[in-house]
Each structure stands twice: as C-alpha cells, then as structure tokens.
A and B are shown apart, each in its own frame.
Chain A
Amino acid sequence: MARYAMVIDLDRCTGCRACMQACKVENNTPMANFWMYVFRFEEGEYPDTHVWFMPRPCMHCDNAPCAKVCPVGARYKRADGLVATDWDRCIGCRYCEVACPYGVNYFNWKKPSKNYYLDWQDEDVVQVTGGAVPPYRNPDLDAPYGEERRRTAGGGRLKGVIEKCTFCVQRVERGLQPACVENCPLFALHFGDLDDPNSTVSQLLRRKPSFRLLEELGTEPRVYYVGGHPPSTESRQIEEVKARV
C-alpha cells in the first residue's frame, strides 16, 4: 500500500494560483470554495519587505481531527493516507469543519447548480447562454473509489454536505497526479509515495529541510513544505480572496 504525501517547494512558488484554477476545473467546486488556496504573504516594513506564497491544500493528516469527530464516519482516513469525505453519508453537521485547524472544509450552502458562479437556470442568464451549461459534472467524480468503494470524489454534488480537497482521488487511483500538481508551471507542488525511496517526494524530503503546518497540534499532516518557513505573526495576508456565498 502506498503512503501518499504532498511536498510543496516554497522557494519555487510564485503565487500564480494556477493550482487553485486547476482544482476548480477538475473538481467542479462551487463558487467561493477553494479546496486549494494560495496565501499571498507580506512580511517586514517598507522598504524592507518580503513577499512569499504558500499553497494550502487539505493536509490529509494522519491523526485527522476531522475524521475523529465525524459522528457518522463520513469523513475517514484511507489506508493509503488520503482523508476522504463520503458525500453519500455526510449529514451536514459541520463538526469536521470546526475541528479542522487548517480551515480546509467547505460546505455546500446552497444547491450547487445555483452556485457555479452563475445561476445557469436564471432567466436573464439563459437569454445569453441559450440554455447551454458548462460541463460542471465531471463523470469521473460520480464513481466509487478506494477499497471501501465509497463515493468520495469531486465537489458540488449535493446541497448541505461537506466537501474538501480529495488529493484528486479520481486521478490518483488511475496513476495520475492531482490536478494542482499537474498544472503547477514551476514544479512547486509534488505528489507521490513516501514508501518509495525513489519518488520525487522522498528525494525532496531527504535533500531539503522541511516543516509541516501547525505540527505542534499533533495532527501529523501529510503535506510537507520545503524551502521556506511557516507563517508567523509577522505574515500579513495580501490579496486575500474575499469570496463569500
């Protein structure tokens, strides 16, 4: 069994947010839901300022606080390390969301079809589009995945359930890389098997010192950062995405 992990090279990230875009296209996430989010930070006082960028996917923690508190087992840890959300079982209590220290969970506040940036059924919109709706349902996302054969892929399936980054389980199980990794123009994101000593992630972690976010909480994240430092009280967020449903 593989032991999947992501390694993010902060030295390489330019904050272009292509990963956020790729994630949205691949996973059909509703408006204002950012399964992958890139912080843009500024530190220091003018003129001695330093700007840096930090992508934030789900950390897929080994000791996941969200999976612990789920009252129905809809959020669970897979044997290969992915933290999955079974949207067929989720009751929408949002306990995982308050338990998560990283803020990676997104709830479907309204019917997803009404929340794909435009209400495509709206009369005014139909006048322009002629009734055409972009392909917001990637067929790969409907299939069951993992040993458990549970429906855990993709976003925007149902109103009133929680969803979050899946590490693109529908791609990983086919031997592909997650969409954000695949689309990073600067190879800042890496994904692979920690048990394989020759995988990029293993090599990177051997070569460079690394850290994980909020390690002191004991959540044991599976996302490692190399070539930078964790955000501190000095890090001010610039250009935050203010999207609200």
Chain B
Amino acid sequence: MAARVEQLPYGIGRFSIRLYLLLAALLVIVGWGIFAYSRQFVEGLVVTGLRDIGTMGGATWGLYISFDVYFVGVSFAGITMAALIRLFHLEHLRPVSRMAEALTVVALILAAFSVLPDLGQPLRGIVNLFRYARPQSPFFGTFTLVISGYLFASLVYLYLDGRRDAALLAQQPGPLRGFYRLWAAGYRDTPAERARHERVSFWLAIAIVPLLVTAHSTLGFVFGIQAGRPGWFSTLQAPGFVVMAGVSGIGLLLVIAAVMRAVLAEREQLHEGIFRWLGTLLLLLILTYLYFMVVELLTTTYAGHHHEVRISLSLLTGEFAWLFWGAVAALVLAVIVLLLPFLPPGLRARVPATSPRWALVFGVAALVPASLVALQGLNLLTLFSTGAQRLLAWLAVALALLCFLLLLPYLSRNVVAAGATAGILVNVAAIGKRLLIVVPSQTHGTLLPYAEGSYTPTWVEVSIVVGLFALGALLYILFFKVFPVMEVHAAEEGAQ
C-alpha cells in the first residue's frame, strides 16, 4: 500500500521530516498570529498603531488594508494564466496554470482574512455586510466582485481544470482515492467529456477576463474616488491597481514556479521557456506601472493643489522617501534582471561564469542591519541612536547593492533564478507601494490644517500579517500534497 502511494506523481502524500518541520514552523507562526488577534479582539484596536485622522494625528487604515490590497493583487496571477492559456492557446504555459489558480484561491482567502482584523466589530461585519449591503459603497464591489465572484469563479475553474487528473488518480488505490473520486464526480475522461470540459473552461475563462479588470478596479476605486483625500483622488488609481496586481501576481508566480522546480522530481516539465515568457510579461507590466507612476507624480507635483504637493513631497523627499525610493529601486532592479535575457549573445558570452555564493553571503549580511533597523523602526527594539540607525540602513543598502551586482553574471545565465529574483524584488516593491498608497494620504493628507500625523505598526499588526503569510504557505503546501501541482499525463498513467 505504502509503495503504491509513493507512485503518485509530484510528491503527493509524501511527507519528509523536513516538510513536517516546515509545516510545524508555519503552524507555530499561524498560532502566534491568532494569539495576537485574540489580544486585539479583547482589547480593541487600541493595541494597533492605528489612530484617528485629524486631531489624533494618525492613520485609521494601515497594515491590514495595505495587505488586503496586496493579497487581492497577488490573486491576479491565476485568472490571467487561465485566460492566457485558454484564449491565446499558450499551451507551453500549462504546467504553471494550476499553481497560479491555487495561488489565486489562497490569496483571496488571505485577503478576506486580512479585512477581518481591520473591522472594529468583526462579527457584526460578517452579518451586516450582507444584510445591509449598499451597492453605492466601493466596498460593495470588493465584497461581491472580489471576495465572492472572483473567488467562486476561481474555485470553479480550479475544480473543472482538475477533474480529469482526479479521475486519472482515482484509478489507483490509496488513502486519497475517495477524495479524488469525489473531485472527479463521475468524470471518466471520454473524448466527449473532454471536449465538453474544454468548452466549459474556455467560456469560463472568457467570462472571468472582465472580472479580472473590474475586480481589481473596484479596489482602486476604494481609494481613487475619495475627493477628500489628496494622493488618492485620481483617475489613474483603478488602472494602476490592475497593473500593480499583475506585477505582484506574476512575480509571486515566478517565485513559486522556481521553488517547485527546485523541489519536484518532475522539474523538467517546468522548462525555461515558461520563466522566459512570464519574465517578459512581468517586464512589460513593470514598465507600464513605472510609466503610470511618473505620470501621476508629475501631474500632482506640477499642477496639483498644495495638499497634493505635500503628499508628493513626503514621498519624494520627506518621511516616506526611504520606502518610496526603496520600492522604485526594487522595480528598476527587477527591470534590469528581466532585461538580461535580451543581452546580445556576443556580450553574454563574455560575462564571467561566477557562483552565486558570495552574493548570497552579502545578501544575508544585508539582512542583519536591515532587520535591526526595522525592529527599531517598529519600536520593538531600541538599541541605536537615530544617527547609528541611519548608518545601519545605508550599510544594508550598500550590502544589498553589492549582493545584486555580484548576482548579475549568475542571473544572466540562469533564467529561472532571474525570474525568481525579479519576483521577490517586485513583491517587496508591491508591498511598499501599497503602504505608500494607504498611509501618507491619511497622516499628511488632511485638508484642514491639522498637525501632521504618524503611523507605526505595532507587534500585533505585524504578527497578524506574518501569520497570514504563514497560513497561506500552509494552505498552499497542503493542497499540493493531496492534489497534483501539474497535469497528470495519460501516458504516464499507462506506463504504471
């Protein structure tokens, strides 16, 4: 029996010690997040760093909303891949399609979970949002189109897409057989059934494409149609959200695909062509986003009201400059990495072959001062003076840049590593940009002359967000331990 289970493809049902350790660690982090939330549930949102806009000089939306926006953005990946594969017949991308769909579902679950801690009355929220739903509120779109419609459509798509594999896997005896039978639900993979499935998923893909644009736009409208918040009120907000969603979603998909390629025995199916194709798509999306960003900043700083100018200056040279320029730098570095495959072959041949080892050493070395600075920034650890903290921050930047430069020759030869690096960079940038959209307009964007505000997240908020990431990883890993991450080939089945 055990020997037969091992025959299931893609490591399904196989749990190594290392995997158990990873799962245990993730569970501990999730538990810590739940504990942090219990503190907030009992004490109220006073345990967060959020405060009222105006006389209290705070931001009333912070990490929770930023990460809600981020998670919804990441969910862009699945539907895009489905649409690209079905509508444009990009069959060579098929191996990442299920990874992408699962990413969508998990990201949307996390998005729903990150709204919940933001509510002062979460239990009421679950009831009242449906009972007294008002379509006039931009939140209505978030809850109907994104959380319900988008999530439901993605689940249906994932289910239909996996039905054939479930039917194939159900032919083998094993502890999961009942689960596969349930999933297959009578599907037998006859040519007629297969054709019908193709048709259904084609039309479903077509139906989901408008959802892709509208759902990500509604989230942009949550901010973009608030005339009373400088920095938010902009026509470009909704399209900007759609593009940034694409950047973070495709970026995270690249990272996940690279990890899968590293851990799966069937790594050859995740061929380099996938990474090259996704990398180019990501490159185009980043360039579009950078263009949007420049257009918006130019408009607001050149022609905007002095309140708009104040927000722009707080980003460009003020309190948030480190985050803004950090995010921009991450995007530009990602562009450089993604441009590497376009190097002329003659030039590429002259790039010395180096090992990434030293780069990684510098990367880890950069993380040490960076995390110290971050801990001090969050008031969790106060070890240094402001000057020393600034010095440490610059040290981290220098080490990170050194790491990047040393990594470049390696990345120019390894398209998978290049994709993963770009993916990590753009996701860091995406999180930064989300925070920059949400926070400065509240602390620096009051139209009446209130004093400038400030916002520093507390350990509760950070713990809940980290716990959400751990929950996502947990769900993702567990799902692909019971269901194949890529399509099971009929030929493979026949051989067994």
- Residues of A participating in the B interface, judged by any CB pair closer than 8 Å: 32-34, 37, 39, 41, 56, 65, 68-74, 89-95, 97-111, 158-162, 213-214, 217-219, 231, 233, 235-237, 240-245
A-B pairs, top 3 by smallest CB distance, nearest first, are A92-B120, A160-B120, A103-B54
Instruction: State whether B449 touches A41 (Cβ < 8 A).
Output: yes
Instruction: State whether A160 touches B45 (Cβ < 8 A).
Output: yes
Instruction: State whether B46 touches A98 (Cβ < 8 A).
Output: no
Further pairs besides A110-B45, A237-B450, A244-B57: 19, Cβ < 8 Å: A69-B226, A71-B143, A72-B134, A97-B52, A98-B61, A98-B229, A99-B228, A101-B228, A102-B54, A103-B448, A107-B45, A108-B44, A109-B45, A109-B51, A111-B44, A160-B119, A213-B448, A214-B447, A240-B451
Instruction: State whether B55 touches A243 (Cβ < 8 A).
Output: yes
- Give A99's nearest chain B residue, CB to CB: B226
Instruction: State whether B119 touches A245 (Cβ < 8 A).
Output: no
Q: Is the interface of A mostly helix, strand, loop or mixed?
A: loop
Q: In the complex, which residues of chain A have a beta carbon less than 8 angstroms from the beta carbon of B451?
A: 237, 240, 242
Q: In the complex, which residues of chain A have a beta carbon less than 8 angstroms from the beta carbon of B50?
A: 109
Decide yes or no whether B292 CB sits under 8 A from chain A: no
Name the residue in B60, B140, B226 with the highest tally of chain A Cβ atoms < 10 Å from its Cβ. Answer: B60
Instruction: State whether A98 touches B226 (Cβ < 8 A).
Output: yes
Instruction: State whether B46 touches A101 (Cβ < 8 A).
Output: no
Bound complex: CA A214 to CA B143 (Å):
31
Bound complex: CA A162 to CA B50 (Å):
14
Give the Cβ gap from A107 to chain B, nearest Cβ, in Å.
6
Instruction: State whether B226 touches A109 (Cβ < 8 A).
Output: no
Instruction: State whether B121 touches A161 (Cβ < 8 A).
Output: yes
B367-411 interface (Cβ within 8 A of A): none
Give the Cβ gap from A121 to chain B, nearest Cβ, in Å.
14
Give the Cβ gap from A106 to chain B, nearest Cβ, in Å.
5
Bound complex: CA A207 to CA B57 (Å):
37
- Give B118's nearest chain A residue, CB to CB: A93
Decide yes or no whether B21 CB sits under 8 A from chain A: no
Bound complex: CA A32 to CA B122 (Å):
24
Name the residue in B56, B118, B134, B143 with the highest tally of chain A Cβ atoms < 10 Å from its Cβ. Answer: B56
Q: In the complex, which residues of chain A have a beta carbon less than 8 angstroms from the beta carbon of B46?
A: 109-110, 245
User: Contacts A34-B55, A65-B227 known; A102 to B44 CB distance under 8 Å?
Assistant: no
Instruction: State whether A94 touches B55 (Cβ < 8 A).
Output: no
Q: In the complex, which residues of chain A have a beta carbon less than 8 angstroms from the beta carbon of B16?
A: none
- Give A111's nearest chain B residue, CB to CB: B44
Contact pick for A240, options B53, B60, B137, B450, CB 8 Å: B450
User: Contacts A56-B448, A98-B442, A160-B120 known; A107 to B55 CB distance under 8 Å?
Assistant: no
